[in-house]
Amino acid sequence: MLFAAATFFLSALAWDAIGRLPPCAALPCRNRTRSENLPRRLTAAAAALLLVACLAPQSVSAAGDAAVPAQEEVKAEAPAPNPAAAGHPLPVIVVRNGAEERSGRMHVKMTLRPADDQTAATQADLTATVMMAAIMAMEETRAHTVAVTLIAQLALKASDETPLARAVFIPDGRSFDGKSPSSVWPTLEAAPRGFTAKELEYLRLRAGLRSRYRTPDGLTDEASLQTAIARHMGVRTDSLRPPRNECQPVRPVRVEGVLDVRG
């Protein structure tokens, strides 16, 4: 706004001065006509505008200098990426394992369960377990894709098995059909922790008793099922709390140690 005001003021002064000059005031010369004075008027106007323009770079530079600290401040606030966590694979037992070929690509699918107590397992440990299992399966079978599921414990039906971690490994990054690009780990998720012995007992009872408690609509009668589970566990129904330990997306971890496959 200040620059615009200065431009208007200096231009007005220049034109006012030009209007007051006598015909021969600029240079000693002969009398000139109106048309002959036109170049002189244009020259004076250009000089006035040039004087105003000389002030512009200083204003722009000042504005630019003031903007630099703000940019640096925003940069400094950007959080640094966290380093990958380290995970130790759990000893596992292979529950199911299979392979099939589709569209000229080999696909391996396997299900594992912990061979030992999982109570102390961290999310990074569960992630490392399925990652290492997928890598080992790919090296042994030369499969194009490997899908690994780590379950908390075996159940009579696969639909009743609670997952601890899942991974899909595609080392060539060409998806399942081999035609479209994908990430190397398009699926990678794990529970925050392993289950305790009491939680595993609850999951086992729920899976085994759920089919006995149905509503007329064919849905699970949760109230009756919870009462039955509490009775088998020897606790009060109102003190029974289903475990909250669902899988969630995770980033790849740094695997430390080897995978011990038993059975």
Q: What is the pTM of this model?
A: 0.68
Mean per-residue pLDDT, 8-13:
44
Q: Are residues 145 and 258 in the same domain?
A: yes
pLDDT of residue 154: 93
What CATH number is given to the structural domain containing 154?
3.10.310.90
Is residue 56 one of the residues assigned to a domain?
Answer: no
Q: Are residues 110 and 235 in the same domain?
A: no
Mean of pLDDT over the chain: 78
Q: Are residues 152 and 252 in the same domain?
A: yes
pLDDT of residue 83: 60
Domain that holds residue 219: 196-244
pLDDT of residue 25: 38
Q: Which of 13-17, 49-53, 141-145, 177-181 is most confident?
A: 141-145
For the chain, how many structural domains are there in total? 2
pLDDT of residue 85: 86
Q: Are residues 170 and 228 in the same domain?
A: no
Tell whether the model's pLDDT for residue 7 goes beyond 70: no
Mean per-residue pLDDT, 100-117:
95
Mean per-residue pLDDT, 227-233:
96
Q: CA 114 to CA 94: how far, in whole Å? A: 9
Tell whether the model's pLDDT for residue 76 goes beyond 50: no
Q: Are residues 214 and 254 in the same domain?
A: no
Q: Are residues 226 and 249 in the same domain?
A: no
Mind listing the pLDDT tens digit for each residue in 143-169?
Answer: 999 999 999 999 989 999 999 999 999
Q: Are residues 214 and 125 in the same domain?
A: no
Tell whether the model's pLDDT for residue 84 goes beyond 70: no
Q: Are residues 91 and 177 in the same domain?
A: yes
Q: Are residues 180 and 234 in the same domain?
A: no
148 closest CA partner among 195, 96, 194, 103: 96
Q: CA 97 to CA 140: how far, in whole Å? A: 13
Q: Are residues 255 and 187 in the same domain?
A: yes
Name the residue with tokens 């999310």: 123
Ramachandran sector of residue 173 (left: φ over 0; alpha: ψ -120 to 50; beta: rest): left
Q: Are residues 127 and 215 in the same domain?
A: no
Is residue 11 one of the residues assigned to a domain?
Answer: no
Q: Identify the bridge partners of residue 107 per DSSP, sorted by sequence position.
A: 100, 145
Mind listing the pLDDT tens digit for each residue in 201-219?
Answer: 999 999 999 999 999 999 9
Is residue 131 one of the residues assigned to a domain?
Answer: yes
Is residue 44 one of the residues assigned to a domain?
Answer: no
Q: Are residues 121 and 176 in the same domain?
A: yes
